[in-house]
Each structure stands twice: as C-alpha cells, then as structure tokens.
Amino acid sequence: MIPSIRQKFNDSFSQEKYDAMIAEFHHEFPNQLDFRVAETPVFVPKELKIKLLHACNDIIDVLLKPDFKEKTNRAIPANQNVPNEDKHPSFLAIDFAVCKDENGDLTPQLIELQGFPSLFGYQWYLGQKYRKFFYDPKNFTQYFNRLSFASYIDEMKKVLLAGENAENVILLEIYPEKQKTRLDFEISRQLWGIEPVCLTKIKKVGKKIFYEKGGRTIEIKRIYNRLIFDDLLQNFPNLETNFKMTDEIEAKWITHPNWFFRISKFTLPLLKSNFVPQSFFLSDLKEYPADLENYVLKPLFSFAGSGVKLHFTKDDLDAISDKENYLIQRKVKYEPIIEDKVGNLIKTEIRMLFIWEDDALRPKLVTNLARLSRGEMIGVNFNKNFDWVGGSCAFFED
C-alpha cells in the first residue's frame, strides 16, 4: 500500500529469515503454533488509517444508541442467555476488507464485527517478531492511542484483572490445549498470569465457581471468556459439566457471553455508513434484490465463516425455512494490493481491536490483527498450499 516501504521490505525478505522467525516461535512455545503466519506485515498509509478510524467511530456510535439492546434482544438464543449481562462488552473487534472506491482510492469496507476478544496476546508477540527479523520502518506502529509494546500490556491488565489477583482470573475455553489459538492462551498466561481452564474443570458451589491449580482449590472471580456457544453446542452437544455457562454466578464475565450475539452479524443491518456494505435480514425482505449475484448469504449464528455462501439463487433463499436467522450483505471487492517477492498481488483484511473498561464511555482502540489471502475468501480453507497468506498484523503510519 506504500510502494517505497513495500519495496524495501521485499528487498530485505528471504525465506531463510522467515524460516528463522517460525523456528523461534516453535522454540519459545513448543507445539503451540497451529496456524499459518504470513510472510509479511501490512503497512497502512495515513489516509487509509484515517478512514479506518472514521469507520470504527460510525459503528461505535450505533452500539452506543439507547435502543441498541432492545433492537438486539432477539440475537440471543433463549437457551444461551446468560444472567447478569453488563452495560457493554469488555472487548470489541471490527473487521474490514481493504478495497478501492469509485475514485481508485483505498477504502475500508466492513466485513464483520464481534463483541468478543481476539488474539490480544499473540498479536503483541507477532508484531515484535516481524520487527526483529525483517525490515522495520520508522514511524510505523501496530498500536493506537500512543501505546507501546510495554504500555499495551498494562492497558490489557487493567481490563483483564481490574485489580484482582491473577490466580482468581481464568481464560475459559473447552479443551484449551487442543484449540488452534492455544498459542495466544499461553502468551496471555505469561503476560497477565491468566490460567487457561477447560469448562469441564470448573466446579460450582452455590453461586461461586472454582478451579484447581497446584493441588489448591481457587475461587474464580473474573472469566476471560474465549468459549463460543456455537463451538460448544456443535462439537460437544452431549457434554455434561458441573458448571454451565447459563448458570447464575458471582464471577464477572469478560466479555459477557451475550455480547457475542448482540455485536455480530446480527448488527450489520442496523449500521449505516459509507464504510458498511448494505445488509438486510432475510425475513425483512418482501422481495429479493434483482442482482443477487452481488450479495453474500450469511447465517446470523455461526463462527469462523461457516455457512457463508458467496453464490446462491432465489430458489436457495426460498428454501430457507428460518429466514429470521439469515441475512444478505452486498459483496465487497477485496483489492489485491500487497505485492510479494515475485510480483503476485495479495488481498488483506484488517481487524481493529478495542478494549472497553467498565466505566469508560467508549471503547479504546489498542491494536490490530491482519489476514492475507489469495483465495476467494479470507480464511484457511480458501488459502491452502499458498505462501504469503495467513495471520499477520498491520503497522500504521504515525
């Protein structure tokens, strides 16, 4: 996106340097890296940075409207409604495709948003590795709001621990040692002392919950929730546990599970911005757009792109019995703008990552995540056997 920076990076790149970086991942965290790391970060010019910030503010303004909860109550499945929901999520992730507008200028277009945490530990780690092994231009940073790699740790600690002892705060998952994101869990443990704990290992007594560590039974006071209901119900439908996520407990959720549903694909039709493609709940349409080929079909309640259809017909829509659980969104055209060593062009998506302290009026942008793709969609299944694709981070021009 910045030709001079891209040229310098590519000139300095070698497969040996990339292999050395990946080897360091494996040395420092044996058997933890379970997804592809892209060969390059994304270098974002000021003009695109300003548009991304504007787009995020447009979206956050909608989340802050007094009637937002009322409009999103239906998003929470009745059997997955968790008690003691708070007034806003603790984390927010907003995904944008990098596209071009009608004038040929780079512009972000919203793909998805989540009231749910992301790889806050891993991205801190990855950014440092890119800077260590490859060309590191001045006046570029992966952080926002004047944060550095050190002050970022402190900001995250305030949200995650909020003054509690680290041993009383857990990262909740189902079989965390088997998750593809387990490297992030381990980095989070090292940075903030938060133990990854499986749902099956939690014991409930009254409204208090506990886990065991080093032969001790420890009360859980804060839950850094990384467990997605959809994953639990689809992959472990008959799992019996002492503690169920819908139980009323004294521990505080970070983020409360209800926000995963409220701030999700369900939110897309509520948003109006130049940076948000037009979206419609399928159940609200009296007639379909004539140009269905320009839309993507998305189930409201799915994760990691499952169930998304890029190509469908009117008959396909008519065959859907639960139309209230689907939406169509106008397709965006990812612009291939990142050039690899041999001149191939690659598409990118940038996820803006926010934290939201309990008493803060607005969420605070802290860092980002990027993904590179050669396939029709962003994601592992569309990028098999390619290089210069996978997880990355963006460095923004200061």
Residue 302: partners with Cβ closer than 8 Å, 6 or more residues away: 230, 308
pLDDT in tens, 161-218: 999 999 999 999 999 999 999 999 999 999 999 999 999 999 999 999 999 999 999 9
Q: Could you tell me the two tokens for 198? A: 């499986």
Do both 342 and 374 map to the same domain? Answer: yes
* Identity at 26, one-letter amino acid code: H
Q: Is it the case that residue 120 has pLDDT exceeding 80?
A: yes
Do both 194 and 251 map to the same domain? Answer: yes
How much is the pLDDT for 308?
87
Domain that holds residue 9: 3-277+332-397
Q: At 237, is the pLDDT very low, low, confident or very high (cuts 50, 70, 90)?
A: confident
Do both 236 and 310 map to the same domain? Answer: no
Do both 272 and 290 map to the same domain? Answer: no
Do both 292 and 259 map to the same domain? Answer: no
Complete DSSP assignment for 83-112: SS--SS-SEEEEEEEEEE-TTS-EEEEEEE
pLDDT in tens, 299-342: 887 665 567 899 999 999 999 999 988 999 999 999 999 999 99
How much is the pLDDT for 233?
84
Do both 215 and 321 map to the same domain? Answer: no
Do both 344 and 293 map to the same domain? Answer: no
Q: Could you tell me the two tokens for 126? A: 């990855």
Sign of CA dihedral 120, 125, 126, 128: positive
Sign of CA dihedral 271, 277, 281, 284: positive
Strands 169-173 and 222-225: parallel
How much is the pLDDT for 306?
67
Do both 345 and 305 map to the same domain? Answer: no
The CA distance from 272 to 130, in Å, is: 36
Q: Is it the case that residue 394 has pLDDT exceeding 80?
A: yes
pLDDT in tens, 1-30: 799 999 999 999 999 999 999 999 999 999
Do both 192 and 257 map to the same domain? Answer: yes
Range of weakest confidence among 50-64, 175-189, 239-253, 371-385: 371-385
Do both 168 and 230 map to the same domain? Answer: yes
Q: Mean pLDDT across the stretch 69-73?
A: 96
Q: Is it the case that residue 349 has pLDDT exceeding 60?
A: yes
Residue 269: partners with Cβ closer than 8 Å, 6 or more residues away: 279, 280, 281, 284, 327
Do both 252 and 122 map to the same domain? Answer: yes
How much is the pLDDT for 384?
63
- The total of other beta-carbon atoms located within 10 Å of residue 142's CB is 27
Q: Is it the case that residue 380 has pLDDT exceeding 90?
A: no
User: ∠358-364-370 over CA atoms, to 5°?
Assistant: 130
Sheet with 295-299: list strands edge to edge. 279-281, 326-330, 295-299
Average pLDDT value for the chain: 94
Residue with more model confidence, 315 or 384: 315
Q: What distance lies between CA 385 and its chain's CA centroid? A: 24
Q: Mean pLDDT across the stretch 59-66?
A: 97
Count structural domains, the chain: 2
Q: Mean pLDDT across the stretch 377-386?
A: 63
Q: Could you tell me the two tokens for 34? A: 């379970």
Residue with more model confidence, 380 or 43: 43
The CA distance from 381 to 97, in Å, is: 18
Do both 171 and 310 map to the same domain? Answer: no
